[in-house]
A and B are shown apart, each in its own frame.
Chain A
Amino acid sequence: MISVLTETQIKILFEQYYIPLVEFSWHIVKCQDVALDIVQDTFVKILEKKEELPSHEKAIKSYLYSSVRNTALNYLRHQKVQHEYYRIHPLNEIDDARILDAMIYAETIHNLYKAIESLPKSCQEVCKLTWLEGKSNSEAAELCGVSINTIKTQKKRSVELLRHRLAPVFSALKNFILIFF
């Protein structure tokens, strides 16, 4: 089954897969700005051709991974730098195993990102301020216009929520939670 998508449908795909695809392409090109650019260019192409996309989700996913991989490899090939770089690292070093690794990273980031996004908005805000931007509880309280105790409660709540969503079984996750928080 093949269907032509409308701009709205393409936008939905973009919202859903942008983060994992950026992560995927980052593992090929190793630079965030280019990774972003490559995924955006891939979607520009999809918009342009009104390309025929497979209709079921699995096929769409492998289609998107393939397009991003091709754009990324193409990009590496077109770099003038390749003459120097690939003398030491021939292109075939980006082999299927590395692509597979990149997809594993992408899938992992995808799910963790979704887990954070699924937190209540107030928890997300507190998470961002305290853990990601390194603000202290009192600074976060001032910025959010709430009491320190509220911040503490929100933090505790989000840790619990994330634990519940992310770490039902595995011990590695404990490490992850520790590192992340």
Chain B
Amino acid sequence: MKEPIDEEYVKAAELVSKYIRGDISAAEYNELMDMLKKYPTLHSWIDNQNLPLKDISKRLTDYQTIDIEKDWQSVLKKHHLDSERKPKYRIWWAVAASVIAVCVVGGSFLLKNKEEDSLAEKKQEITEIVPGRTVATLTLSDGTTTLLEEQEHRTLVDGDITLALSGSTLDYQIAKDATPQQHKLQVPLGGTYHIRLADGTNVWLNADSELEFPSSFIGDERKVKVRGEAYFEVARDATKPFKVLVGKTEVEALGTAFNINTHLYKEEIKTILTEGKIKVSTPADYKIIEPGYAAISGKEGIKVGKADVEEALAWKEGYFYFDSKRLKEVLSDVARWYNLELDVTVPLADKRYIGGMKKSESIEAVCAVLSDLTSYRITVQGKKLVVK
């Protein structure tokens, strides 16, 4: 690590601060002049009459809201928790293209504490736009639909199939020997859902997505249909290839994990492979994809490129993740998650952004960060995400 900051350095800072506050004695002033010779960068503070006073008063205003006692309590809380695990900063942002860059929205530790605190506060807020939750609709073979709420524990019956619904997971594994029925799981805007298929394959469905699947797999292949974005962890079964139909693209897998997304590009499908091997085919073409690579398939055929695996995994772990996405795409993702309509009244610059953010954040926090990072004012008005 770097050497400690020496006391003289701190003294120099104190003197400059006194000088700009106009609270400096003659003796201190002479001392400061000596310091200037030693630390020439200080000249910019002394010579420049355009001191950043506006910034300082803005920051001072922010400090009025800090509750030192409360923050000390969270230090103590962290201190007691710390023996169990180390703090980790998991949420971060950067503007790759601009000069002022990184802003970070809290470490998970801080958030954890804050979440507890803010829970009570949240209850009092009346019209808060809440982030998405685990909510989905399941359509059974006879066309009846049932709503799957967050944190439910019950069983569902369709013909001779009994399904277990626990927490945020719908489990078909116990239905694997029954007569197959075609089911459809739909996740609306502002939700996500996890399902375990009869063969043990795990599927996470992102907001505004749907999955059609049989309640059990018979025959020599396992076939499902998806629209929107889904992450698959396919159970290994060499005798029965797992096939995912997405529009006209078919993704075939043995034991493997991958993410499929149709929200990203118009009429194109992006498949990112995180483990194993997959075969992506369209009526005209096919490609074998290695882990860490992505295929973009559409009318133009299949393009293969290096992928950012983080992108594939982030949403399912509860994070937004953007790797070099345009602001428009970032905003669409955010709007989809918070179930808002995107209202862009100004042309957006063609900068690209990388970064991530916890999905359980309030929309206000997200807007604040986005506004800070971009030159736009991003606010929520009613059910609209307005960009000015």
Contact = CB atoms under 8 A, between A and B. Distances in A.
A and B: interacting chains: yes
Interface string A132-168: 1000000000000000000000000000000000111
A166 B21 CA distance: 7
Interface in B232-283: none
Interface in A43-58: 43-44, 47-48, 58
B35 to A, nearest CB: 10
B45 A104 contact: yes
Contacts, number: 200
A32 B62 contact: yes
Interface size class of B (residues with CB under 8 A): 35 or more
Contact of A97 (B22, B41, B99): B41
A1 interface: no
A29 B9 contact: no
B37 interface: no
B106 A34 contact: yes
A90 B100 CA distance: 13
B104 A29 contact: yes
Nearest to B108: A37
Determine the main DSSP class of A at the interface with B.
helix
Interface string A71-115: 001111011110011001100000011011101111111111100
A73 B2 CA distance: 10
Interface residues of A, number: 74
B53 interface: yes
Contacts of B68: 14-15, 18-19
B74 interface: yes
Interface in B307-323: 310
Contacts of B355: 81
Interface of A: 11, 14-15, 18-19, 22-23, 26, 29-34, 36-37, 40-41, 43-44, 47-48, 58-59, 61-63, 65-66, 69-70, 73-76, 78-81, 84-85, 88-89, 96-97, 99-101, 103-113, 116, 128, 132, 166-173, 175-176, 179-180
Q: What 4 A-B pairs come out closest when comparing CB atoms?
A: A170-B22, A107-B17, A103-B13, A33-B106
